[in-house]
């Protein structure tokens, strides 16, 4: 092989992966990794758990699985890569194929040549121009220094109240971290829900759980001003005038791709604001590649360009860029379906693909189903999962899947990620051959059962309503007959309190006189998870009732207040 000079700019996720891949595939290559921060290959997704005290060894964020810190000596010895830290690349001369560098502690400048250049400049947290944002106590949770600061806040124990600005992934994780650190926490979100990758009725369950864990959640509101005294934060003023005293404020409203270096070098910037790259991670300059949070990639379901600032994708993109720099364009990154997952106290919440809201915005004719059921048999310590599947009504192709709850949602989401990535239909998933044993799943796994519900809807066997649709009927005065098909013991333990009628499924055929005698009258049947609600619908349809709906997910998927 030849001896190419490969420069990689950025040492967080995509950069180290690109550098290691390039060197691994061409041992003669001269690979240099240039990093602005003092640290390399940081596990930034672990910051909230370091802040919360889930683990105490800061170096764990910088280590290999065997416990070796990824510092310049490690990269030189184990990888054969020269790693230069605390050095900023300030300009690219594409004609001369050089980059200008500045060593930040000393101010010294230098010029480095390259044959191939890989830009992994990442993203920066969005901090709007809110008055008072410079006060001590206002921070983000993006860099190691942010994690160090918030860990100090935890360890000192002086701060008592925190405000999280933003209810996305980082905001929810920061909320949990600071609650577990002993602070009173309020999450302020400008939009009408947390976790916008979920549909509203799914996100409401996460919101309810956050409140149950002692966090306050304020929606449809934003921060107008950070308030302070003697340079230190003392509170925030919200858009509606509410004043929240606090010692710490974490701004978590997303990130913006770092493209200034690429733009100044004349590289093409895409429609989303990220660096435009091909499927080979090649920029508009054939000798420059880019990967990670700074680039835009293909959204595989919509066919449009998108930003996808996720650590796992950054590693995959870096791998492709590093390989192509030394072997030519042999590797490709196909794009993203936007998979995401987060821990919210005792809940896991995640999604793959499009939500119902997004799918409709993209012009799809959408059909959905909601399922609430255990993740495994009761005798194996079952925990609840609530899922929502979104499909194209015309083709049956699955467009998205959401899953949350205290059960093992991660496995459900992983399986559905592969299904959505490969264009699987509802029928495909209905007959998925999955490994089964009681310690791990039900005989019909939760996500397969969700597909069965959706298939029944698409075939006209089940006529379902979401909890949101049922609540709308109750609110607008067109009250249906609510049929609770559970047992009296279950009814005493938990119920809606919306004027429902308890008729256990086993008694239904004997109590037909208790139903509306107008067989076209609207009836909504349900139970704990609405399996018995579906059975009731089938019985009543057979006996001539024509307007019977099933409340999908039953009481366990009801996100609103209940009587019990």
Average pLDDT, the chain: 97
Q: Which pLDDT score, from 0 to 100, does residue 478 have?
A: 81
The token duo for 111 is: 């010029």
Query: Same structural domain for residues 314 and 407?
Result: no
Does 562 map to a domain?
Answer: no
Does 563 map to a domain?
Answer: no
- pLDDT digits 0-9 by tens, 221-279: 999 999 999 999 999 999 999 999 999 999 999 999 999 999 999 999 999 999 999 99
Q: Which pLDDT score, from 0 to 100, does residue 477 have?
A: 81
Query: Same structural domain for residues 269 and 374?
Result: no
Strand order in the sheet with 98-103: 87-93, 98-103, 109-113
Does 535 map to a domain?
Answer: yes
Cα–Cα distance, 388 to 359 (Å, whole number)? 13
Does 132 map to a domain?
Answer: no
Query: Same structural domain for residues 247 and 268?
Result: no
- pLDDT digits 0-9 by tens, 545-560: 999 999 999 999 999 9
SS (H, E, C) 433-462: CCCCCCCCCCCCCHHHHHHHHHHHHHCCCC
Query: Same structural domain for residues 118 and 263?
Result: yes
Cα–Cα distance, 180 to 178 (Å, whole number)? 5
Query: Same structural domain for residues 245 and 276?
Result: no
Does 318 map to a domain?
Answer: yes
Strand order in the sheet with 161-165: 138-139, 248-251, 161-165, 184-188, 216-218
List beta partners, residue 381.
Answer: none
Query: Same structural domain for residues 265 and 209?
Result: no
Give the residue numbers spanning the domain of 505.
464-557
Does 243 map to a domain?
Answer: yes
Query: Same structural domain for residues 81 and 149?
Result: no
According to DSSP, the β-strands at 481-484 and 523-526 are parallel
- pLDDT digits 0-9 by tens, 161-189: 999 999 999 999 999 999 999 999 999 99
Q: Which pLDDT score, from 0 to 100, does residue 1 have?
A: 55
Query: Same structural domain for residues 115 and 16?
Result: yes
Please report, for residues 2, 48, 57, 469, 515, the alpha-carbon distance to residue 545 in angstroms, rounded to integers and kept in the order given. Answer: 78, 53, 64, 20, 10
Cα–Cα distance, 506 to 151 (Å, whole number)? 57
- pLDDT digits 0-9 by tens, 488-542: 999 999 999 999 999 999 999 999 999 999 999 999 999 999 999 999 999 999 9
- Over residues 343-359, mean pLDDT: 98
| DSSP run (H or E) holding 317 | helix 311-327
Of the candidates 41, 10, 40, 36, which has an alpha carbon nearest to the alpha carbon of residue 103?
36
Q: What is the pTM of this model?
A: 0.95
Domain finish residue from 294, 327, 360: 327
Cα–Cα distance, 560 to 489 (Å, whole number)? 22
Cα–Cα distance, 529 to 202 (Å, whole number)? 15
Query: Same structural domain for residues 507 and 530?
Result: yes
| DSSP run (H or E) holding 420 | helix 409-421
- pLDDT digits 0-9 by tens, 185-201: 999 999 999 999 999 99
Does 128 map to a domain?
Answer: no
Query: Same structural domain for residues 242 and 275?
Result: no
**CATH number of the domain encompassing residue 244:** 3.50.50.60
Of the candidates 96, 70, 98, 100, which has an alpha carbon nearest to the alpha carbon of residue 88?
100
Q: Considering its fold, how many domains does the chain have in total?
A: 4
- Please determine, for residue 2, whether its predicted confidence score (pLDDT) is greater than 80: no
- Over residues 58-86, mean pLDDT: 96
| DSSP run (H or E) holding 173 | helix 169-180
Domain finish residue from 399, 423, 458: 458
Of the candidates 246, 240, 195, which has an alpha carbon nearest to the alpha carbon of residue 220?
240
- Please determine, for residue 215, whether its predicted confidence score (pLDDT) is greater than 80: yes
| DSSP run (H or E) holding 372 | strand 366-374
Cα–Cα distance, 481 to 525 (Å, whole number)? 8
Q: Which pLDDT score, from 0 to 100, does residue 507 have?
A: 98
CA atoms within 13 A on the CB side of 337: 24
The token duo for 544 is: 């001539």
Q: Which pLDDT score, from 0 to 100, does residue 27 have?
A: 96
**Which residues lie below 8 Å from residue 7, measured CB to CB, with a gap of 6+?**
32, 34, 99, 112, 114, 116, 117, 118
Cα–Cα distance, 526 to 512 (Å, whole number)? 16
- pLDDT digits 0-9 by tens, 253-265: 999 999 999 999 9
Query: Same structural domain for residues 287 and 234?
Result: no
Q: Which pLDDT score, from 0 to 100, does residue 564 have?
A: 82
Please report, for residues 471, 491, 494, 532, the alpha-carbon distance to residue 486 in angstroms, rounded to integers and kept in the order given. Answer: 20, 7, 10, 7
Domain finish residue from 439, 458, 477: 458
- Over residues 74-78, mean pLDDT: 96
- Over residues 315-327, mean pLDDT: 98
- pLDDT digits 0-9 by tens, 81-137: 999 999 999 999 999 999 999 999 999 999 999 999 999 999 999 999 999 999 999
Cα–Cα distance, 287 to 299 (Å, whole number)? 25
Distance spanning both ends of the chain, measured CA to CA: 71
The token duo for 373 is: 């059921």
The token duo for 305 is: 């360009």
**CATH number of the domain encompassing residue 540:** 3.40.250.10
Query: Same structural domain for residues 367 and 446?
Result: yes
Cα–Cα distance, 319 to 281 (Å, whole number)? 10
Confidence of residue 62 (pLDDT cuts 50, 70, 90): very high
Does 100 map to a domain?
Answer: yes
């Amino acid at each position: 092989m030849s001896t190419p000079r490969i420069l990689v700019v950025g040492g967080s996720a995509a950069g180290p992966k690109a550098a290691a891949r390039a060197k691994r595939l061409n041992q003669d290559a001269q690979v240099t990794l240039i990093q602005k921060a003092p640290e390399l290959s940081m596990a930034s997704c672990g910051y909230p758990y370091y802040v919360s005290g889930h683990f105490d060894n800061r170096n764990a964020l910088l280590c290999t699985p065997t416990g070796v810190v990824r510092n310049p000596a490690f990269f030189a010895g184990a990888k054969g890569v020269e790693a230069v830290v605390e050095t900023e690349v300030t300009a690219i001369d594409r004609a001369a194929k050089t980059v200008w560098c500045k060593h930040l502690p000393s101010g010294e400048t230098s010029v480095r040549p390259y044959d191939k250049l890989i830009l992994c400049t990442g993203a920066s947290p969005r901090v709007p121009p809110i008055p008072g944002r410079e006060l001590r106590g206002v921070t983000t949770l993006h860099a190691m220094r942010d994690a160090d600061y918030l860990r100090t806040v935890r360890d000192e124990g002086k701060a008592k109240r925190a405000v999280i600005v933003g209810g996305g992934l980082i905001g929810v994780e920061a909320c949990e971290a600071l609650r577990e650190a002993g602070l009173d926490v309020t999450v302020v979100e400008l939009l009408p829900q947390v976790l916008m990758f979920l549909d509203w009725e799914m996100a409401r369950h996460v919101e309810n759980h956050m409140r149950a864990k002692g966090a306050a959640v304020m929606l449809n509101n934003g921060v107008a001003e950070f308030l302070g005294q003697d340079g230190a934060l003392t509170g925030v003023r919200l858009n509606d005038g509410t004043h929240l005293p606090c010692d710490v404020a974490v701004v978590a409203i997303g990130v913006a791709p770092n493209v200034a270096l690429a733009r100044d070098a004349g590289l093409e910037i895409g429609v989303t604001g990220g660096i435009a790259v091909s499927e080979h991670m090649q920029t508009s300059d054939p000798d420059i590649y880019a990967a990670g949070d700074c680039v835009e990639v293909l959204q595989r379901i919509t066919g449009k360009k998108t930003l996808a600032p996720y650590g796992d994708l950054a590693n995959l993109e870096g791998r492709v860029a590093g390989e192509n720099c030394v072997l030519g364009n042999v590797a490709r990154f196909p794009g993203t379906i936007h998979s995401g997952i987060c821990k919210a106290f005792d809940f896991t919440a995640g999604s793959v693909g499009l939500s119902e809201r997004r799918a409709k915005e993209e012009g799809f004719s959408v059909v959905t189903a909601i399922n609430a059921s255990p993740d495994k048999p009761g005798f194996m310590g079952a925990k609840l999962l609530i899922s929502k599947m979104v499909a194209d009504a015309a083709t049956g192709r699955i467009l998205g899947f959401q899953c949350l709850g205290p059960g093992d949602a991660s496995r459900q989401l992983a399986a559905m990620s592969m299904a959505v990535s490969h264009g699987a239909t509802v029928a495909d998933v209905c007959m998925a051959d999955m490994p089964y044993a009681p310690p791990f799943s039900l005989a019909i796994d939760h996500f397969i059962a969700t597909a069965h519900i959706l298939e029944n809807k698409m075939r006209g066997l089940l006529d379902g309503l979401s909890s949101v649709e049922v609540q709308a009927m109750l609110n607008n005065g067109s009250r249906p007959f609510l049929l609770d098909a559970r047992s009296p013991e279950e009814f005493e333990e938990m119920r809606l309190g919306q004027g429902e009628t308890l008729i256990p499924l086993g008694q239904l055929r004997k109590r037909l006189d208790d139903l509306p005698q107008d067989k076209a009258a609207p009836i909504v049947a349900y139970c704990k998870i609405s399996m018995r609600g579906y059975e009731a619908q089938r019985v009543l349809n057979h006996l001539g009732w024509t307007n019977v709906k099933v409340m999908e997910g039953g009481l366990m998927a009801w996100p609103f207040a209940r009587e019990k």
